[in-house]
Structure 1
């Protein structure tokens, strides 16, 4: 199953916490490039084949400053998140989606859309930011040299593994963290360097910690930070090399700090910088290698600079470059190996290209010879990641492919055999990250898995044993599946007339492991009044007790339509006025329809 993950900035509907739009502060409007052209093309292919595709949407839930005078901050409430979800559906063509699921209070909803619905999402002006290649989950996990970082659904940041320089962010309490520990809250994106860590909060603030003797934290010093420290504001993306950092601000300017022995900062010198210096403008995405850097401009052109001993810059030479040089066009995403020297680029047609150091077969061309120019490796790719001497690619069908060095089991195929060409190793994957000798992958069910080297606890499963196959990271299990769900909504007629009552037939299923009472089923027609219990357009009925696997169909007659236009009928099971039962999840499903004259 393909999954497109979008991060949305939606105007708040009925709740009214603050005026204007809510989202990551300062993010520029999305461009076609940021929408992940490669992913969109692959998903459209699947829609054409299967007639539907699953889309996961992240509704951003930042802290909001109410007024300049009062620094009041508040989180969106579940009913406000529900309204945001409904606002999204307003933008889609009637009948273009068949179901929607959202857990109570969750910022994530899942849509099943047809071709028109997918096009509506990709063209929606509500889209504020999408990670490279269309997968926002890629910003939420990161592998350092020997440590790991991951965000949970509540935007809390957790870290584990080697902690010799404070890169875990716990104050240097322990040398090895064998299980995840919470480090920060309100985080939107993370990056792991050689021995330093970076996090962007939902307000655009950049926080850094860990090793800093080259100035890679960008705080104006060369002193290690054992706990997160705010460095900058107005940051949109960040990348961490071995000893340097790349910072993309919301105005699309690229800044760099840290070690510069090989010119990896790109300022035309080899001078180390402990304060960020301006490098480029008009940048859409960045990636950091061990001693080289990559930048993707908004026009799709790829630029590289820094060390080039093995051709990692891709310009056909082994000449070190102190300033950016142009390498490729039509690029959607980039990745660089932090500790060794190879690079990856994903083009807008879904093809993956690789170049540079190849002693481990990480280029994927079937040889162990270095490549001085980009070489096409795979097609149909939606996201990719570079480890130390291994490479990773995620295809649109959720299959994970890996190649390169495998001495620690970092490919995850149950062996330690090196692979010089891509091999499928997993399925059902939504996001990936590569450490030096380990790999992280988040599955489509939300669980986090790791494999490879584990001598410093970087796999997060409370041992120091290398793993040749995936093991689940402690504390990152898949969220529990709701017992009672809405499986089908049928409207009669499908396109009702204005001010003429219509009906909805809703089917509820017990997909749990025990018989139970599903509680109430609430439905709302898409009217102008606020969605509250007993409001205009609301109807509810008791579902009663359902055996395991059993379904019950309820018919709601006399539903109101009001004005002509595109509408959405929404249904909640085990709910009364959107209040979740203590033992259940407040599940939402929806059906688009059009009211005709």
Structure 2
């Protein structure tokens, strides 16, 4: 009887030890992945500014596929592997992330792109004199130093028909449309507009633009915001926003940064993507 009790106690201790070791391994893996994320963020803010609009889910992760900071799928053994060699060639650059592809703008005005290219969204090797890039679902847009615009990728709805644009100072590629901000504060739009997302002809005094999923957003010089397009989740309910200094349109939600460093958000909130009320001290990146 005593022997059986002793064996049972030893078995219990062994099971607890195994559970503890398993938990410790899990914590270690999480810590490693968090460290990779933090390192990536530090590197990003130390050397680049990021632009672009997520096109599938607001998190930027494509569908239910897993994400790997180096190679494309979350894997603890692979996550520390070096990224593609062309990335190391940049001295000063801007990056844009589309669906399963990445675009990089070099300081000499040329552009690199790598990844999914079924619609030709990575065919940017001939681009020159580019000062800004924006990538979304399956098309890529580049702003040239002379204020003209180039675009490649899927064009079934005319989103890449920007060759006649001029006096453009900013561009934004949405899921199904392209926005161009002109130097006079007006906005041009190309692409699908079944939800009215390209109805921007009456926008005035715009200082920033962001193209989302099926909606587009503009920031006015007085700190107010305008939005057009699908409002299924309330993503266009921005008429009462004030003191806004930056905007970003996701697939189904919209975020605004206020001058006091707080943030506001409207739209789909299934994954708590709009729960930004407690954020403070948010600042825009500064050019070096």
Could you state the TM-score of these two structures normalised by the residue count of structure 1?
Answer: 0.36
Q: 1:31-88: per-residue Cα shift (whole Å, max 9, x none)?
A: xxxxxxxxxxxxxxxxxxxxxxxxxxxxxxxxxxxxxxxxxxxxxxxxxxxxxxxxxx
1:217/1:257 contact within 8 Å kept: no
Task: Pick one of 163, 167, 171 that aligns with 1:334.
Answer: 171
1:407 aligns with 2:207: no
Shift of 1:426: 1.4
Which residue of structure 2 aligns with residue 298 of structure 1?
Answer: 145
Shift of 1:313: 1.1
Task: Pick one of 77, 90, 95 that aligns with 1:238.
Answer: 95
Task: Pick one of 218, 221, 244 that aligns with 1:396.
Answer: 221
345 and 400 in structure 1: CA distance in 2 versus 1, 3 angstrom threshold: same
Shift of 1:364: 1.6
Shift of 1:289: 2.7
1:312 aligns with 2:127: no
Q: Secondary structure at the match of 2:147?
A: coil
Shift of 1:243: 2.3
Which residue of structure 2 aligns with residue 453 of structure 1?
Answer: 268
Which residue of structure 2 aligns with residue 476 of structure 1?
Answer: 280
1:346/1:383 contact within 8 Å kept: yes
Q: Secondary structure at the match of 1:293?
A: strand
1:389/1:405 contact within 8 Å kept: yes
Which residue of structure 2 aligns with residue 263 of structure 1?
Answer: 120
282 and 244 in structure 1: CA distance in 2 versus 1, 3 angstrom threshold: same
1:252/1:281 contact within 8 Å kept: yes
342 and 377 in structure 1: CA distance in 2 versus 1, 3 angstrom threshold: farther
407 and 298 in structure 1: CA distance in 2 versus 1, 3 angstrom threshold: same
Which residue of structure 1 aligns with residue 42 of structure 2?
Answer: 185
1:289/1:336 contact within 8 Å kept: yes
How many angstroms apart in 1 are the aligned matches of 2:168 and 2:280? 33
Q: Secondary structure at the match of 1:426?
A: coil
Whichever structure has more strand as a proportion of its residues is 1
Shift of 1:405: 0.6
249 and 432 in structure 1: CA distance in 2 versus 1, 3 angstrom threshold: same
453 and 443 in structure 1: CA distance in 2 versus 1, 3 angstrom threshold: same
382 and 265 in structure 1: CA distance in 2 versus 1, 3 angstrom threshold: same
Q: Alignment RMSD, CA only? A: 3.6
Whichever structure has more helix as a proportion of its residues is 2
- Where does the alignment leave 5 or more consecutive residues of structure 2 unmatched? 1-30, 284-288
How many angstroms apart in 1 are the aligned matches of 2:75 and 2:166? 39
1:392/1:400 contact within 8 Å kept: yes
Which residue of structure 2 aligns with residue 353 of structure 1?
Answer: 188
- Where does the alignment leave 5 or more consecutive residues of structure 1 unmatched? 1-168, 174-180, 198-208, 268-277, 316-325, 366-375, 414-423, 462-470, 480-597
The number of residue pairs the alignment matches comes to 239
| Structure label with greater radius of gyration | 1
Shift of 1:427: 1.4
